[in-house]
Amino acid sequence: MTRILATILVALPLLAAAGDSDRAPPDPRDNGPDRLDVSKWPVEHQKRYPLFETKCSKCHPLARAINAHFSGADWKRYSKRMIRRPNSGINEEQAVELYQFLAYFASAQGGK
């Protein structure tokens, strides 16, 4: 019985890690803030926040995108890579919405 319990205890973390195979490995940006206060942003960008929150946290913590400090041009290039990832679930229309949100976010941070 003890051997079975020991095997289960060793296997559980491995099984849990296997379930997260679609998620990106940890990144230093993951440790920063994981929410944005968009209450003072223009309404069209406030409406895009839930899409950003849902889609960008599917493969990595939302903090990674929030703490990236990319310019609008960087976000355009990076978002094209993200929509091509398997299982991203981002269609072309959503990609445009996400880019517009991220470009505004970059400009609000002082990016280009």
Q: Cα 19 vs. chain centroid, distance in angstroms?
A: 17
Comparing CA positions, the residue from 58, 55, 70, 54 lying closest to residue 24 is 58
pLDDT at 37: 95
Comparing CA positions, the residue from 90, 111, 103 lying closest to residue 44 is 103
Q: Is residue 103 part of a domain?
A: yes
Tokens standing for residue 12:
């559980």
- Predicted TM-score (pTM) of the model is 0.73
Q: Is residue 11 part of a domain?
A: no
pLDDT at 83: 87
pLDDT in tens, the chain (112 residues): 555 544 444 444 444 444 455 667 887 788 888 999 999 999 999 999 999 999 999 888 999 999 998 999 999 998 888 888 888 899 989 999 999 999 999 999 886 5
Q: Is residue 76 part of a domain?
A: yes
Question: How many structural domains is the chain composed of?
Answer: 1
- Which domain, by its residues, includes 78? 26-108
Give 43-63 pLDDT, tens digit per residue: 999 999 999 999 999 888 999
Residue 52 sits in a domain whose CATH number is 1.10.760.10
